[in-house]
Structures are given as structure tokens and as C-alpha cells.
Amino acid sequence: MSDLKEDKDDKGPKTVDIVVNDQPHSVPKGKISFDQLVKLAFGDGANPADGYRISYDRGHGNASGKLKPGGSVQVVEGMDFTVTGTGQS
């Protein structure tokens, strides 16, 4: 799992498990941004301005879609993201 801490309280976990480019990560509940997903996929040295495409499956209501630069999406348990470089900036 990711090095993000999994916090739990009486209401249950405050994190959800997602998959980014076939690698599992635990992330805080709520929304995750385009930039955060690029960094999860390619590390802290990745620059989201270098050009990436992000698609997802198993979102809220089993939704699939694409995430645009500057955007964010609500994460749900088991959500699957694919982040690829476009070779364009």
C-alpha cells in the first residue's frame, strides 16, 4: 500500500483503497485531483504539466470516465485509474 497513513476512528476508516496503474494505494476519503494521481502513478518528480491522460473505472455508481487536467473526482473503494503520458506538454 501507499505510505499514506490509514487513520481509523469509531466511524470506520478515513481512507479508501484504489488502484493506479495496477498498483494499490490507500488515499484519504474525498476527492483526488489530476495532479495527485499523476504523482501516485509516476512519483513526486512527475510534472502534471508534461501531458498526461487519466481514465477511471469502478467510480461512484460503477461509473467510468476521464479526468481532465485541473479536475478531481470522488474516490470510492476499489476505484481503478490508468494514468498515461501523452508525450506532449
Q: Which of 4, 10, 25 is nearest to 78 (CA)?
A: 25
Q: How confident is the model at residue 6 (pLDDT cuts 50, 70, 90)?
A: very low
Q: How far apart are CA 41 and CA 25, in angstroms?
A: 10
Tell me the pLDDT tens digit for each residue of 16-69: 999 999 999 999 999 999 999 999 999 988 888 889 999 999 988 888 999 999
pLDDT given for residue 39 in this prediction: 94
Domains within the chain, CATH numbers bracketed: 15-85 (3.10.20)
Instruction: Give the pTM.
Output: 0.80
Helix (H, G, I), strand (E, B) or coil at 61: helix
